[in-house]
Chain A
Amino acid sequence: MVNLIRNEWMKIMHRPGTYVMAGLLILAVIGSTVITLFINSSGGTEDAAWQQQLQAENEQIKMTIETGENDFYVPSAEGALAINEYRLDNDIAPNDRDSMWTYLENISFLIAIVGLFAIITASGIVAGEFSWGTIKLLMIRPIARWKILLSKLLTVASFGIVFIGILIALSMLLGVIFFDGGSAVHLTYANGAVEEGNIVPYLLKIYLYNSIDVILLTMMAFMISAVFRNSSLAIGISLFLYFVGGSATAFIAAYYDWAKYSLFANTNLALYEMGMPVVEGMTMTFSVIMILIYLSLFIVLAFTVFTKRDIAA
């Protein structure tokens, strides 16, 4: 299996597309950093006294809770209020936008770019062998088909991890150089009490939450690639769903309850922390189960079709 994965990496590393993708990711990180720095430097008068800001914010939150304005979610407002008060009482300044932690949290949106590249790689890794015609020479080796497919899946996974690694390593480096240390204390509100914690696990959670739809769609691209043996189809469908799936689901969810069974209604686990599920009544457990069902469905489809079907191309 190690040899098979080395083979796949050899094929990835010898194609210019890989370097273009890595280069674009690096450019995107640098670009967003420059833009962040530029915006931060252009309007920086308000950071005089964070205590006053927080007090003003609290006044506002209290008013909203009292008036019950719109659909404002009360528990999260209470949480924000409690955390702000805790900060004032214990003299813990919130991380402002010049802090490295805020920067690291914000730059997690670039996981979408990693996702884009992972989908492209997953789409090509099986279908490519068919379009190059090399699948015939690949499959006449004394290695079961499922092992070959598994090695390709693991290669896509490691590709995603390497690219996330590039993203995190580079943004941490830039963060240390260009941003303030800030405070590594992260406050959470649970069961009516504020707790102090480290910010690193919190950031990891943000990155993980942001990765879920990427993982699912990459798996879907891989499945389409293995089942239909066509990389354009895999890229097309997966990217289309990647870009419109979320908003389409949100739109459907406003009218129909069954939207909660769709893939995209369940990929944003952060919504549960904010207390606003896509469809009323959905829980974190439900979504995790749905995610696992979709993942196994894609894996089972990819492996059964790939090992059963004749290679006639």
Chain B
Amino acid sequence: MTQQSIVQLRNVTKTIGGKTIINRVSFDVYGGEVFGFLGPNGAGKTTTIRMIVGLMKLTDGDVLIEGKSIKSDFEGAVKQVGAIVENPEMYKFLSGYKNLLHYARMYKGISREKIDEVVKLVGLENRINDKVKTYSLGMRQRLGIAQSLLHDPKVLILDEPTNGLDPAGIREIRDYIRRLARERGMAVIVSSHLLSEMEMMCDRIGIIQKGKLIDVQSMHDFVSTKGELFNLLVENPQEARTKVLEHNPSWTVEVLEQSLVINMTKEDIPALVRFCVASNIDVYGISPATKTLEDRFLEVTAEEGVASNG
């Protein structure tokens, strides 16, 4: 991964009618990575994205794209951005090709060959001359991506890119997004409420809540907590918990339905099994337990919610 910062948000703030919607959000997105933008509904994801692409003006702060400010050099900055903001809304009465032609005309030097190339890339060759109103949501989504790649941008911003796609389509788009980041060194910013989707797609995530960026981490660090978690399926969890804590008081042991969730390392397993056998604890299974992004996300946003509510 090339660690070159392509998108820089610096204290981005948006105030509407005296109410601060986005409060001093700063983060960087690097070339070659997929950056996931997460947050509950109304947290300010879309507002932030709209400010990055220049649809909304910044009250304070700045967005730099390849060093060019969206405020002072809109045309220079936005030239490097391809985006779908919310749904990929197209001119339904035009064919897919004419839609692409329409946007291609708004840049300098996009040839017909380039349009054909992009059409092929998203696999719409067979339907590109049909009117968009006959397209399925998945096809529109692909046309949206085609539209955002016409001018070979350095930055790709996709709001809910897998919205409305079937599982095969989701996978296809996900692989495709990852490939663009890897092969072309693009900085990709993705927002989604499908957390499992984000987990598979993103290298890093930023979590926004109530207009504040509360966490930016690599996906790996974010999902796995320190050490590892294992599930121990036992007959009587409450009783077993006390005994296990006697065995090693430094562990954190939680009861989850019929199992114990223990914070320990893989090397601890044989000793624990021997201990259980010796202490008459019936063990039905041991399996590694990772927290899902969903668990972590709810955890983090709940902490913040409590903190900010006082």
Contacts and interface: CB of A to CB of B under 8 A. Distances in A.
A252 interface: no
Contacts of B83: 137, 140
A310 B16 CA distance: 10
Consensus secondary structure, chain B interface: loop
B50 A311 contact: yes
Interface string A2-31: 011011001100110000000000000000
Consensus secondary structure, chain A interface: loop
Interface of A: 3-4, 6-7, 10-11, 14-15, 132-134, 136-137, 139-144, 308, 310-312
B172 interface: no
B259 interface: no
B107 interface: yes
Contact of A134 (B56, B76, B81, B89): B89
B189 interface: no
Interface of B: 50, 53-57, 74-76, 78-79, 81, 83-94, 98, 101-103, 105-107, 147
B98 A14 contact: yes
A137 B147 contact: yes
B19 to A, nearest CB: 14
Contacts of B56: 310-312
B105 A137 contact: no
A140 B105 contact: no
A310 B105 contact: no
A134 B57 contact: no
Contacts of A311: 50, 55-56
A18 to B, nearest CB: 11
Contact of A10 (B79, B84, B102): B102
A11 B94 contact: yes
Contact of A143 (B55, B81, B94, B106): B106
Contacts of A140: 53-55, 78, 81, 83, 85
16 contacts: A3-B105, A6-B105, A10-B94, A11-B94, A132-B92, A136-B86, A137-B84, A137-B85, A137-B88, A137-B103, A140-B53, A140-B81, A140-B85, A141-B78, A142-B107, A143-B106
